[in-house]
Amino acid sequence: MTVCIDNAQHPLIIDTGAHCSIVAREYLDNHFPHWKKKLFPTKEKNFESASGKMTSIGTIIKEIIIPHRKGNIRLNSELIVLADAHIQGFLLGTDYQRMYGIDVYNDKNSQITIGTIKEKKF
């Protein structure tokens, strides 16, 4: 799905298997040149993924705007910055899916529900 962050379009993956929301350092370096000035420390340093262990270097806060025909949805999100991830965009984990009531239905007509707004195939 394409979302708006800092007045630009970026890819967002909704990952129902990820316990936290993340972004790769490499992606921030390429798209947000001053991101390090807004980096906060994280308590957790090591993370496990399907492809192996990854290291956190901190947390950033971003407002993610999901476009919707009934009005944009704004998610104020803390994202773990991973030093060795290779994600091209942002990954929204179950932390913010639960917080904002985001449900993903994977049947023959995939749907995403956010709160009470239901939209087919974002």
What are the extents of the domains in the chain? Answer: 2-120
- Number of other residues whose CB lies within 10 A of the CB of residue 37: 8
Q: What global pTM score does this model have?
A: 0.79
- Number of other residues whose CB lies within 10 A of the CB of residue 6: 11
d(CA 20, CA 5): 18
- Give me the CATH topology for the region 2-120: Cathepsin D, subunit A; domain 1 (2.40.70)
Helix, strand, coil abundance in the chain, percent, nearest 5: 15, 50, 40
d(CA 57, CA 7): 25
Q: What is the pLDDT of residues 27-84, one digit of tens each?
A: 999 999 999 999 999 877 777 776 778 889 999 999 999 888 778 888 899 999 999 8
Q: Report the share of the chain in percent with pLDDT over 90.
A: 41
